[in-house]
Structure 1
Amino acid sequence: MKSSFINKTICKRAIFFFIFAISLTILATLITYLINPDVNDVLDGIGNQSSDTLSDSRGIHKVWAFIVNNGFSVPLQMFLLALIPIQFLYVLNIMTTVSLPGILFGIALRIDADKGFGMIFSSIPHFVFEIFAFCLLAATLFELNRAVRIKIKNLFKTDKVEISFNEKLVKAVKFYGIFVLPIITIAAFLETYAADLIYQFFQ
């Protein structure tokens, strides 16, 4: 059953998005490190955007908070953006998600290189799972967004292109439930329980 939802095209698309996301994180890290911004101002700005639920939660409650944010809120935003007939608009969520860690990595490396590298390595496991899940979602939303754009173009064309929006929508929702949400759940556990252990190893 799963093979009907994922194929080589979706995998290639997801890998392309993933390479783009990682490159953006590295770029954000390098730029932040080189320009050496005012640390307090940047941290205050990021802190104001962070969820109080995430910052106050611990243990399994923190896992659930991560799942709610990364597993439901962000994918819902991506779904809604995919319904707008502008290509790749749904990738904005991925760009935002990968840029903020890059900024934090750059600041951490500037303050203390050893702790900065520890922070980066401890973030790699959950970061990779989380971002790849978003990239998989973006890869299937590509088809949904394409269906939206074709439907709108058909309104102004006599030679209409046959495409089922409902089929693409159902496929995207099922793909999310089968692949994306489970991977994000794994990322939530890694971020809650594994990140601190890995960070302590590098101290």
Structure 2
Amino acid sequence: MSQGFIVAAIGYSRGYIQEIEKLLEELSNAILFLKKKIDNLSKNQFALMGLSAGGLLALLTGLRYMNLVDKIVAYYTPCDLMDIWRSESIFARFSVTATIKRLPNKSKDIYEKYSPINYVTPASPKILLAHGMKDSVVPYVSSVKMFKKLRQKGCTAKLLLHPKGDHGFEFVLKDRKTLEILEKTIDFLTN
């Protein structure tokens, strides 16, 4: 426990090996396990945080099983899986196809089923989205669309955009804007 946080990194099978439902099951089981283990330590809020595909899983799990989490933080996440097909990244398109096991032109309904944007309700947990506007893997418009949908539904949501950030910007950019986004993430988690 550091500065009031209890942190656990939850590993999961790789999407190209497992079906996405299996990944979501692994994550929800891990959350239930952690909640049971830390229940006697803390009555504070429980948050999920994920980056990219991990953010997709965090959003899907938190939005599908709202009783499990209070807050979700998702960095450069494909909130609408169809947005990946607007990406210049062949890797991104391959990854989503391998995880979903289908192409969008033949199974748009499956892409919609696994797009967090389609699970937003007025009862959604508090959500913080962070995205670099130069993201070459996941178009930042995906987070913008998600933020707009959350606000339309009356949800508590924050959107933090880095004008020069690419995918994984917080690991390479050490500028003031990156520091500000990280500080606002901590504020979001602590308040």
TM over 0.5: no
Of Structure 1 and Structure 2, the greater helix share is in 1
Q: TM-score, normalised by structure 1?
A: 0.30
Of Structure 1 and Structure 2, the greater strand share is in 2
Q: TM-score, normalised by structure 2?
A: 0.31
Which of structures 1 and 2 has the larger relative contact order (alpha carbons within 8 angstroms, sep 6+)? 1
